[in-house]
Amino acid sequence: MDIGEDRRLTEAAVALPPALVELRGISKHFDGVAAVRDVNLRIRRGEIFAILGPSGCGKSTLLRVIAGLDSPSTGEIFLEGQSLGRLPAYRRPINMMFQSYALFPHMTVEQNVAFGLKQDRLEREVVRERVARMLELVHMSEYRQRKPAQLSGGQQQRAALARSLAKEPRLLLLDEPMGALDRKLRAEMQFEVAEIIRRVRVTCVIVTHDQEEAMVMADRLALMDRGGIVQLGKPAEVYDFPNSRFSAEFLGDVNLFSGRVSAVAEELVVIESPDIHGSIKAFAGEAFSVDAEVAVAVRPEKLRLLDEPGGAHNNRSEAVVEDVAYAGSHTRYYLRLPTGHLVTALLTNEGQHHRLEHGATVSVGWEIRDGVLVTS
């Protein structure tokens, strides 16, 4: 490494926001079974960080450990460099918003938001001013005298968020924040909640099993499986460059072609796969040996229906259209290859795109750079 490169790396490291929260070797066992396994994680100050994974992967348990609602079996949590140790949940500068919102049904919106502030024995004028500011922030000022039963799902969520932010926590934890909303409202609230969080500049950790929610809201995400973190990065990085079959399959739709490496030439790898006639070419970010078992992951939007003769840069196969799903802005094609392998192609409905009919024969392919080599 030359001096210039070393200087660039140092400057890049300095430019990164400092970590607000650090988890070192966190594990949590229930009756001898590990719900969370040796998690090491740094959450940067001011970012929205998502913990994503299937049901039972340990993400909610990890959130409860951070909040202090559960004690870790092993490991330590640091907030701004200070160990939280055995500090109970009520003494941590952390607020948590649950999926059920947990609003007090007998209190008005205003009273719900003020509850924690009154518990902290703040002066009446401070409470009044902060409640008014929080309600204005979440666009709930006109509903201040309503009780939770008189609110829609989205309004209840805004009220719960205002209550969580009122105490000005250094860390905000959201557990499945959109889980109780219908699909259309959930999509709207993802942007709105993220905007509010960024406006108040609070560091936020979101736990969700909803891929779209994590992709839309988070600056970075950690993908969990079986109690551990399997991939960490910006949403686009994790989506475009999955590091395993699990990452590729869980985050979005994907076409997978399993096979063995038959040749390696610098960064180019040739794979023989029973899923497709002919060889598959892919770039490899790491070293693979001949005969290694791998899979090539190709996102549906990267597949192309090809009319022109293909060059050597394309991976290509003939296919028969088995099903067509029209979804307004795009059309999803289910294509059966001669080997019997089923793949999916996603095409936007723009210009003069002519939708193919069931039973049509097409040529489908993708460019070398659009396939990602993954292992199991």
Supply the pLDDT for residue 307: 61
Residues in CB range of 322: below 8 A, 6 or more apart: 334, 335, 336, 342, 358
3-state SS assignment for residue 56:
coil
Amino acid present at 165: L
46-72 burial, b at 16+ Cβ within 10 Å, e below that, comes to: ebbbbbbbeeebbbbbbbbbbbbebeb
Closest CA to 252 of 235, 229, 232: 235
Can you give the pLDDT at residue 218?
Answer: 96
Which residues of the chain fall below pLDDT 50? Answer: 1-14, 309-312
Please give the Cα distance from 247 to 240 (Å, whole number): 10
Residues 50 and 219: their CA atoms lie apart, in Å, by 8
pLDDT score for 284: 82
φ/ψ (deg, to 5) at 282? -150, 155
Residue entry with tokens 């518990």 = 119
Domains of the chain: 15-245 (3.40.50.300), 253-374 (2.40.50.140)
Q: In this predicted structure, what is the pLDDT of residue 11?
A: 39
pLDDT value at residue 1: 40
